[in-house]
Amino acid sequence: MKKYFLIVLACSLAVLACDNGVKEVNIESDVYHQTMDKLSEIIVHDIFSPPVASRIYAYPSIAMYEVLAQNNPSYNPLAGQLTELTPIPRPTEEISYELAALEAFIKIGTALIFSEADMDAYREELYKELKKGVNKQYFEASLAYGGQVAKHILEWADGDMYKQTRTYPKFTVTNDPTRWQPTPPGYFEAIEPHWTKIRPFAIDSSTQFVPERPTAFNMEKNSPFYKEVMEVYEVGKNLSQEQKEIASFWDCNPYVMNVTGHVMAATKKITPGGHWIGIVKIACKKAETDPMKTAEAYALTSIALADGFISCWDEKFRSNLIRPETVINKYIDEEWVPLLQTPPFPEYTSGHSVISNAAATALTSIFGDNFSFRDDTEVKYGLTVREFDSFFDASEEAAISRLYGGIHYMPAIENGVTQGRKLGDYVVDKLKLRNEALAENNE
For residues 301 and 429, membership in a common domain is answered with yes
Classify residue 181: in a domain, yes or no: no
- pLDDT value of residue 26: 85
For residues 250 and 296, membership in a common domain is answered with yes
Q: Per DSSP, what are the bridge partners of residue 22?
A: 134
- pLDDT value of residue 268: 84
Give the separation between CA 255 and CA 273, rounded to whole angstroms: 14
Sign of CA dihedral 430, 270, 190, 238: positive
- pLDDT value of residue 14: 34
Q: CATH code at 424?
A: 1.10.606.20
Q: 357 and 394 in contact (C-beta within 8 Å)?
A: no
Q: CATH code at 97?
A: 1.20.144
Give the separation between CA 43 and CA 47, rounded to whole angstroms: 6
Residue 146: partners with Cβ closer than 8 Å, 6 or more residues away = 67, 99, 100, 101, 102, 103, 104, 106, 107
For residues 263 and 410, membership in a common domain is answered with yes
For residues 276 and 137, membership in a common domain is answered with no
Range of the domain at 52: 25-163
Q: 135 and 22 in contact (C-beta within 8 Å)?
A: yes
- pLDDT value of residue 17: 39
Q: If we measure between CA atoms, which residue out of 334, 346, 379, 363 comes closest to residue 427?
A: 363
For residues 371 and 238, membership in a common domain is answered with yes
- pLDDT value of residue 265: 65
Q: What are the φ and ψ backbone dihedral angles of 398, each rounded to 5 degrees?
A: -60, -40
Q: 177 and 217 in contact (C-beta within 8 Å)?
A: yes
Cβ–Cβ contacts within 10 Å for residue 321, how many? 24
Classify residue 301: in a domain, yes or no: yes
- pLDDT value of residue 11: 35
Element (H, E) at 319: helix 291-319
Reduce the DSSP state of residue 263 to 3 states and report it: strand
Q: If we measure between CA atoms, which residue out of 269, 252, 229, 278 comes closest to residue 411?
A: 229
For residues 220 and 158, membership in a common domain is answered with no
Classify residue 440: in a domain, yes or no: no
Q: Per DSSP, what are the bridge partners of residue 260?
A: 263
Percentage of residues in the chain with pLDDT exceeding 90?
88
Give the number of domains in the chain.
Answer: 2
Classify residue 385: in a domain, yes or no: yes
For residues 203 and 109, membership in a common domain is answered with no
Q: 384 and 442 in contact (C-beta within 8 Å)?
A: no
* Separation in Å, CA 144 to CA 138, 141, 148, 344, 382: 10, 5, 6, 42, 40
**Domain limit, last residue, from 121, 142, 163:** 163
For residues 281 and 145, membership in a common domain is answered with no
Classify residue 173: in a domain, yes or no: no
Classify residue 285: in a domain, yes or no: yes
The tens digit of pLDDT for each residue in 346-397 reads 999 999 999 999 999 999 999 999 999 999 999 988 899 999 999 999 999 9
Q: 404 and 247 in contact (C-beta within 8 Å)?
A: yes
Classify residue 189: in a domain, yes or no: no
DSSP 170-184: PPPP-S-TTB----T
For residues 318 and 225, membership in a common domain is answered with yes
For residues 280 and 407, membership in a common domain is answered with yes
In this prediction, the residues of the chain whose per-residue pLDDT falls under 70 are 1-20, 258-265, 437-443
Q: 324 and 230 in contact (C-beta within 8 Å)?
A: no
- pLDDT value of residue 24: 84
